[in-house]
Amino acid sequence: MQNPQEVQLAVRALRAALPKNMNKIFTDGADTPPVAVVLGTGLSPLADSLLAGQEGCPGVRIPFSNITGMPLPGIDSHQGAFVLGCLGGVPVIAQQGRCHLYEGRNPAEVCMGVRVMAGFGAERLIITNAAGALNPQFTAGTLMCISDQINHTGCSPLAGPNHAAWGERFPDMSRIYDATLQELALQTAGRLDIRLERGVYIGLRGPEMESPAETRMYRQWGADAVGMSTVLEVIAARHLGLRVLGISCLTNKNLPDCMTPAPLEEILAVAARAGHDLARLLEAVITDMKAA
């Protein structure tokens, strides 16, 4: 398990880096706790909206390099920064860029951002990722609301002594993704005419992509989408009691009987296109989260 003091130090550094005029929104007696967002591969347009600022709430970008103990993402498509701002009057702290197990990082490093955002006061987490579609009815370029997950990474961020102030030794995982937030996302997508599928995400360590035999097996296990992130961060978030909404951007389609390579350039290009739909969806969902 992560060292709680490391997280506390990072939270302190984050607060110290916050411009004075944003203190009132994020700390001193703020009436809405910030919503935490993790932005996955190529899914950055939401950060641009936060940085554009809103009346009374300018945006700010705080690089991970300014935050004590915050691990820096190792691949080019992931920038490392917290971006803070407001959407529809709701304060948001977004983690732009994340660490992955496939970079050789450990679960504590992978989950540091989520634990820091929780320490900063977030009670809800929206987590996004790029994923391959396993459900043959899903199309590349669409979004999927995660209904449940399979942790097939072989590790857990909760292994080791439990930190009781964060959560229980054996946290419940019977309802990982919040039903009210899923419903809100599905209704909002309908209103905005954005196609939003619903399904199970399987998280692997990677970095190698899946073979046809593995793809067939994951589909038979009940997974609708496959990726290399999210599951550990969500376990850490649920341990901390955060309510979680997960959205995958389906960047490619994996059918075991006609597998084709899915190079990173293609994944990034599709994520960049779908990222605009994702930003529109999340802006509307977050605005409505005041009540949810």
Q: Does 203 bind ligand HPA (CB under 6 A)?
A: no
Nearer to ligand HPA by Cβ, of 61 and 102: the residue is 102
**Residues binding ligand HPA: what is the number (CB under 6 A)?**
13
∠ Cα 25 30 36 (to 5°): 70
- Nearest-angstrom CA–CA distance, 65 and 79: 11
For residue 250, the cross-strand partners are 131
Query: Hey, which residues between 225 and 264 contact ligand HPA (CB under 6 A)?
Result: 226-228, 251-252, 254, 262
DSSP secondary structure string for all residues of 100-118? -GGGT--HHHHHHHHHHHH
Q: Which residues contact 183 (CB under 8 A, 6 or more apart)?
A: none
Q: Does 130 bind ligand HPA (CB under 6 A)?
A: yes
Site string for ligand HPA, 261-280 (x = CB under 6 A): -x----x-------------
Candidates 209, 235, 281, 289; binder of ligand HPA (CB under 6 A) is 209
Closest distance between ligand HPA and the C-beta of residue 106, in Å?
Answer: 20
Q: Does 62 bind ligand HPA (CB under 6 A)?
A: no
Q: Does 142 bind ligand HPA (CB under 6 A)?
A: no
Output the 3-class SS for 149-190. Answer: EEEECCCCCCCCCCCCCCCCCCCCCCCCCCHHHHHHHHHHHH
Closest distance between ligand HPA and the C-beta of residue 135, in Å?
Answer: 13
Closest distance between ligand HPA and the C-beta of residue 197, in Å?
Answer: 15
Q: Which stretch binds ligand HPA (CB under 6 A): 103-111, 130-138, 146-154, 189-197?
A: 130-138
- Nearest-angstrom CA–CA distance, 246 and 128: 6
- Nearest-angstrom CA–CA distance, 71 and 65: 8
* Phi, psi (degrees; rounded to nearest 5) at 144: -135, 125
Nearer to ligand HPA by Cβ, of 83 and 133: the residue is 133
- Nearest-angstrom CA–CA distance, 60 and 78: 18
Closest distance between ligand HPA and the C-beta of residue 203, in Å?
Answer: 9
Q: Which residues bind ligand HPA (CB under 6 A)?
A: 130-132, 209-210, 226-228, 251-252, 254, 262, 267
